[in-house]
Each structure stands twice: as C-alpha cells, then as structure tokens.
Amino acid sequence: MSNASSKQIAVIGAGLMGAGIAQVSAQAGHPVVLRDVTEEALQRGLAGIRASYEKFVAKGRMSAEDAEAALGRITTTTDLGAVSEADIVVEAVFEKLEVKEGVFRELDKLAKDGAVLASNTSAIPITRIAAATQRPESVVGVHFFSPVPLMKLVELVRGYKTSDETLAAARAFAEGVGKEVVVVNRDVAGFVTTRLITALVVEAAKLYESGVATAEDIDTACRLGFGHPMGPLETADLTGVDILLHAARNIYAETQDEKFAAPEIMARMVTAGDLGRKSGRGFYPYEGK
C-alpha cells in the first residue's frame, strides 16, 4: 500500500493514543517510527497494535497480508534522535504543558527543516506548546480521538503562528489515514470538542454530586433526550475521570469560566483512585467486567 505520497511519520509516546496513531499511519502506507522512553512501553504499544490488526482481520476489515505489511512498516526506538528523518512528528505524551514543552524543545533541535510538528493534545493551547520552539509556524494541533483506529474525527488546531502550509500538510495526513477533519481556527483552551464534553461532564457530575439524579438517569436522559450514543458520566469513565478533571482544570485556569470549575466529587474520585473503567470503578463499578 506504500505509495509516492507516503511520508515518514514519527510518533512520540507509545501509549493508547500514540500506538493508535502509529497503527492508522502504518495501515495507510506510511513508514512509522514509534518512540517511547522504555522498551517495555514500546512492547506494550506494539502488542496493542498487533491485537487490533488481528481483530480487523478476524472481522474481514483487513487482509492478513495487509496487517503483516502494516506491522512491518513500524519500527520502535527509545532514541528521540530517530525523528530526524520524519516529515511529520506527532507527539502523544502525557497531557501536561511542561512535559509537552520539554518534548517540543527537543524536537525543535532534532527534526529536519520543514517537518510538521504536531501535538495530539486535547486541551492545551497550541500557541503555548509552539512557543517552546524556534519554529512556531511548523507546530499544529492534531487531536485524534480514542480509540484512534475506530473514531473518525480529528480536530486540527491552528496555533497563533501556525502557517497555512503546516495546516494543509496536517490535513492531508489526517484525511490520508481515513479521518474526517474539523478545523479550530483559534486555539482556545479545550478547543471545540473538549470544551463541549468537559462542560457537559462537569454539569452532570454536579447534578450527581448534589443528589438531583442518579448517574444512570443522567446518562439515560442524554442518550434518549439528545441522541448521544453515551451519557456524560459513562463518557467520563471511558475517557478517565482523571483526564477530564485535568482538562477541566486546564480550561478553567485559562478562562476562569465557572462552568469548567469541576465539582469536588471528581477530585475526590481521582484521589481515591476511582478513575473509571481503567481502574475498575468510576461513576459506575466495572469489577469483573
């Protein structure tokens, strides 16, 4: 499937998001370098990609040969210097400004001239990430949704100095891996999607905390009343209560808008380790599921 338009992709971070981005990039014919700080993280990421391809093959969405070829296009490394050949670098590390700034300072030194430096952030303004580099015009937000192989949407986010060329290259990449794109022209904290879901989750958690309705009834109201496939508290459990609390705090810090002030129950849940599906309990119990 490799073709003349295939670009060299580097993905920084082999967690759920990074592995998913590497997976769809390789499937679309791009050679991919997947980088993380430990060999264990890389092996976990690769195992997830392999399992996902196997599911696609079992469901007839992909041939076994294509899956094998896609896996063959992915190389792993712990060396950040491996980004030097990449046309597009996608950062998918922990959602914390200081962590991302550190990565982009290094990418600025290591990536070739003209490379697109993309961040898969869901809430941090791209302008702030770009400011860590000497080439803010090359930095763009490319916000994939989880699980990356299944979710069709990518939010492209223009930082204050992102060039039209960078945005166009990011769009071509995202559409080339089979995604539909929405463009956020001003990188306000939380962009479009994270602002909307965070406002909904915060309000739902407040209603739940104050005993107005049960979690089940709040979610049922959103599913049946608004046609949402999943209610806001179920969504929080799937995404991670910690992730949404972090997003709410980021947006609130930037905007001072009360609707993003997360209720105490979310902080208490995170402190207690009730993070949602990944920990076995969130707004709902998942033990044994």
Residue positions forming the annotated binding site: 52, 59, 122
Distance (Å, rounded) from C-alpha 143 to C-alpha 149?
13
User: Rounded to an integer, what is the distance from CA 33 to the centroid of its chain?
Assistant: 18
Distance CA 6, CA 182 (A): 22
Binding-site members for CoA are 52, 59, 122
- What is the rounded distance in angstroms from the CA atom of residue 121 to the CA atom of residue 246? 12
33 backbone φψ class: left, alpha, beta (φ>0; ψ -120 to 50): beta
- Distance set, CA 82 to CA 2, 9, 77, 113, 116 (Å): 20, 10, 7, 15, 15
Q: Which residues, including other chains, have CB under 8 Å from residue 120's CB and lie 6 or more apart? A: 17, 18, 21, 90, 91, 92, 141, 142, 143, 144
